[in-house]
Structure 1
Amino acid sequence: MKVRKRGVWLLTLLSLTAVIGVYYLLEKAPKPFDGITIFSDDTIEGTELGEAGKDTTPVFAESYLFEEMRMEVRNERSQLREQLTQKITSDDMTAEERNAAFDEMQSLTKRETAEAMLEMLIKDLGYEDAVVRAEDGGVKVSVIAAEMSPAQADQIVYTVKSEWEDARTVQVDFKSGK
């Protein structure tokens, strides 16, 4: 049995290496740099970086707030997953309790997958970033958008309800992109 697993693993690695190798061999010449020219003949004297007298606002990306929210949810869920794993592996639990813990772990995985998929779908609608959190049949969606309209909220609610049948209520929260 171990030889088969090793063989499958080796075959997978070799095929992955072959695919990557073919991709790089068939890739065309590097694309030209589309951004600012780093080394140029111009001097810095003609360039203005900004004026000290103008009011400036600090730049704070809302996506950092979203990343913080995602990390909190991940931490909570990893602790829950650890507790469920301990229940499943414990000798003190009955078979029914172990099955219930296993079912809860599967539903947690299903919920995480659905949230990640919905985040990608909402980003595909044209939003900078989105966070989707599901709790007890309700779904909370936070979105970064320059403009906020009821039609956009309806579009998000429709997307969530059409992709996730367990979503009974959907709450949409807009954050400004600036």
Structure 2
Amino acid sequence: MTMNKQTVWLVTMLTLMVVLSAYYIVTGPVEPVDEAGRPSGENEVQVDLKTEEADSKEEVQKASSDYFVGYQLQRNNLRSKMTEEYMNILTNPKSSKKELEEAQRKIDELMKVDKTESVLEELIRNEGFRDAVVISGDRHVDVIVQSEKLTHSQVVKLISLVKKHLDVPATQVSVAYRP
């Protein structure tokens, strides 16, 4: 199976786009600063009238949100490295036909799992959870949701969603929560 340069280039650019998107989601926008270290155009003194309790609640939510984004970013980085390894095999002129087919199969499998995990995370958010991360391994799937607590029926619903979309037995699904 030969891959033309256009296909290799396209897959490489898509991988790069995923990595950069995740990076920009985590870092947020960058604003220029003046000599005093303030964002440019900000000359007024702003007063924060929020209570300490509200501030600490926002900090907890931000830390929890960072936890989920961090997990997703870590997963994307790992997948990007794996895809890059397989792309190196595909672009290596010394690779055998069997190696090329295996590398292409692995890339297709990674893309399928990544898409399925993303769909599952969105479905879980639609179930009323603030955030979720799905981590699928060879035979086991971990689901972590952002919630204060989980009821038995919520756990059953999450396991059935995973079972339906990833075709794994219910005994191979772990569900956890994080406030």
TM-score for the superposition, normalised by structure 2: 0.65
**CA 1:152 to 1:89, structure 2 compared with 1: closer, same or farther past 3 Å?**
same
Q: CA deviation at 1:49?
A: 4.2
Distance in 2 (CA, whole Å) between partners of 1:137 and 1:63 is 27
Distance in 2 (CA, whole Å) between partners of 1:109 and 1:159 is 19
Segments ≥4 residues shifted beyond 4 Å: none
- Of 143-152 and 91-100, deviating more is 143-152
Amino acid at match of 2:60: F
Residue identity (%)? 24
1:122 pairs with one of 121, 124, 127: 124
5+ long unaligned stretches in structure 2: 1-48
Which structure has greater helix proportion?
A: 2
Amino acid at match of 2:67: L
SS at match of 1:126: coil
SS at match of 1:60: helix
Residue 79 of structure 1 corresponds to: 81
Per-residue CA deviation, residues 140-161 of structure 1 (Å, 9 max, x unaligned), is 1000112222221111001111
2:158 pairs with one of 143, 156, 159: 156
Distance in 1 (CA, whole Å) between partners of 2:90 and 2:144 is 34
**CA 1:106 to 1:147, structure 2 compared with 1: closer, same or farther past 3 Å?**
same
Residue 113 of structure 1 corresponds to: 115
Per-residue CA deviation, residues 2-23 of structure 1 (Å, 9 max, x unaligned), is xxxxxxxxxxxxxxxxxxxxxx
Per-residue CA deviation, residues 9-61 of structure 1 (Å, 9 max, x unaligned), is xxxxxxxxxxxxxxxxxxxxxxxxxxxxxxxxxxxxxxx743x7x8x746222
5+ long unaligned stretches in structure 1: 1-47
| Alignment size in residue pairs | 126
RMSD: 2.0
Residue 170 of structure 1 corresponds to: 173
1:66 pairs with one of 55, 65, 68: 68
Q: Which has the larger radius of gyration?
A: 1
Distance in 2 (CA, whole Å) between partners of 1:158 and 1:131 is 16
Q: CA deviation at 1:92?
A: 1.5
